[in-house]
Amino acid sequence: MPSPLALCRSLNAIAIGWQNLIARIRDPYRPELHYMRGPGPKWRAKHAVQAAAAG
């Protein structure tokens, strides 16, 4: 039979695992929604003026 300390550590590890799982499921942050998708309209307007002036 495991010692009370070993049992306590095992239960603690299981509890921490469940807490981490629940935290990941409930986390609203989704980095794929925040990636840049290319230059925006301000960048295009600025660089279109520079390209027209250059040649």
8 to 19, 21, 49, 53: CA distances (angstroms)? 16, 20, 68, 73
| pLDDT reading at 16 higher than 90 | yes
Q: What is the pTM of this model?
A: 0.49
Domain ranges of the chain: 4-54
Q: How far apart are CA 16 and CA 6, in angstroms?
A: 15
Instruction: Label residue 55 by pLDDT band (50, 70, 90).
Output: low
- For CA atoms 11, 16, 17, 22, the dihedral sign is positive
